[in-house]
Structure formats: structure tokens, C-alpha cells
Amino acid sequence: MRAMVLDGLRQPLKLREVPKPILGKGQLLIEVHACGVCRTDLHIIDGDLPNPKLPLIPGHQVVGTVIEVGDDVTSAKVGERRGIPWLWSCCGQCHYCLAGRENLCDHALYTGYHIDGGFAEYCVAAERFSFPIPEAYPDEQAAPLLCAGLIGYRALKMVGDAKSIGFYGFGAAAHILTQVACYQGIEVYAFTKPGDSAGQNFAKTLGAVWAGDSDKPSPKPLDAAIIFAPVGELVPSALTAVDKGGTIVCAGIHMSDIPSFPYKMLWNERVLRSVANLTRDDGKEFLALAPKVPVKTAVTLYPLEKTNQALSDLRHGLFSGAGVVVVNHGG
């Protein structure tokens, strides 16, 4: 099969012919149709996340068709569309897993990090950790739901009953979560890179009541803030934007160092927390909710051989919404 392979850190991916993956028990062979690009892919390539499998096929927002099932598969069927998210599997036995917190499992495996991912014609999914794709979504529209959507949704749940939320960084996750928040009656305030008028206008078209530069004060005290951009300097900014008792959620898997700030910014029972990964329950809840909103993903499409271009465009903020690699088999 054709695949985009990472041979070493901080190197471009290389288009290669590699063996098609072999199934194990409880696994599915997926013919990949589309795979979203994510900032976590950049963190893996850049070496910000430790010890990836090398060589590696990245990509963890995978949509495709089941073409073969392994032993002990109980529900997935050949011909069914399935999505593969960031969490590929967990141990199921540690105290985190037994408490329903499988997103914190010390023995978890992640797609496109420990296990070859979706920048390829085929990949393998663990049946129990893959999701049927709602019929309303074509492949390329569904792909961003599997990380930007799922982990963003988990972050949104962490703000409780907030009625006004600031989103810092307006990329794939924020453009999905704005639609969900508006559906739930929440006011969204979009904080973008300074001077990003296109991003601010995009946020307003999705329902944000206000959009402006991230280095400017919020127009009103907010109930909560979610930081999608991997920029530690935004934490003090968000702390000054939220009202007493407000929650700030850091939604990225990696962030630059948070600068020191005076305690009075955290005082009055403000909460600063992170979100890690996702659970299968998050996936089931969000994929049931998305068609009701309905969430519409704005996507820029790239062929498999242009995956490096997709990652570069993501790094430099050259598209709105989400970038998606589309795999044409035999092309």
C-alpha cells in the first residue's frame, strides 16, 4: 500500500510503498478514505511528544470502510464505515480504566503515535475503540469530528453550566465547538491571533457573538475559557478574562511553558485544568450529538501525496477550519 512515513523526528514524511497491515484479534482492517490533520501530528513530528514509534505512519482522525475483521470481532461488519480516533486502545485493568477514566491509562496506545495511523491506504483499528460514522457525514466531513470534535467536546463538558465561553485559538476544534456551544445556548467569544480578521469573521459566521485579538481584553467577564492554541502565554490572558468561579481548560496535548502570574489572577475560586485524550463514552455522546446540531465541518482537502503540504499549511494557519487528507486508492 501507499503510505506517508515518518522516518525520523523533524523530517518530512516520505511517500512509500509498504506492506499492508496484518490483523490481530479484535481488530479491523480499514480501507482509509480520509484522515484529518491535527496539531498533535506536528507535535509528534517535531519531537514535542516523547518516544513515538519510528518509522511511523501518522494520522489519527481516520474514516474508512471495514474490509476485513479479525478473530473475536463481535459487532463490526465488512462494508461498514468506521472512524478511528486518537485513543487506539487502553489496558482495561488499571485503576483509571476501572473508574471510567481510560483517557488517563498509563498503558494506552494512540493512533498515529504508537500504532500506524491514517496517512495511508489501509490501517488497523481496535474494534472496541472505533466508532460507526453517522450517515449524514461524508468521509472528509466526518474526519475532523474524531479528534478536533471529540477532544473539544470533552473540554466543553469540563466548563459545566457556563453561559459564556472564550475560545483561544480558532482552528479545527473551535470551529466545531462553536456550533455545538451555540446549539446549547452558550455565548462564544473567539480570541484569535492578533490581526487575524479572516479568522475572526469566520468565527462570527459560525455564531460567535464577538471575535477579536487574543492580546486584547475580553469585552465582558466570561464564565469559562477553553485554550486550543498550544501557547502558554494565553493562560494568564484567559485568567483575566474569566469571572470569579470561572474555569479555564487547556485542551491541547502539548503547550509551551506557562509564564508566572500573580496569585490574585487565580483567586476567587477560578479553576485552571487540562483535558487529556478522550474516552469511548465521549465518542458515543459526541457522534450522536453532532448530526442534531448539525455540526458542519469546513475542510480543505489534500491528496495523500500532499500530506506534507497539509501539515505545513496547518502549522502556518493557511486554512480555516480543518485540513483533511483524502486517499484515492490506486492513485
Distance CA 289, CA 134 (A): 10
- Using the structure block, give the residue that is written with the C-alpha cell 513515538: 52
pLDDT at 173: 97
Return the CATH superfamily for domain 150-274: NAD(P)-binding Rossmann-like Domain (3.40.50.720)
Specify the domain boundaries for CATH 3.90.180.10 within the chain. Answer: 2-144+298-326
Q: What is the CATH number of domain 2-144+298-326?
A: 3.90.180.10
Distance CA 38, CA 300 (A): 13
Closest CA to 227 of 239, 219, 218: 239
Distance CA 329, CA 331 (A): 5
Query: Can you give the pTM of this predicted structure?
Result: 0.94
48, β-bridge pairs: none
Taking 50 as the pLDDT cut, the residues of the chain under it are none
Pull the grid cell for residue 220: 465582558
**What's the longest Cα–Cα distance across the chain?**
60
pLDDT at 329: 83
Specify the domain boundaries for CATH 3.40.50.720 within the chain. Answer: 150-274
Secondary structure (3-state) at 182 = helix
Pull the grid cell for residue 153: 467536546
Distance CA 117, CA 130 (A): 13
pLDDT at 206: 97
Name the phi and psi angles at 156, rounded to 5.
-60, -40
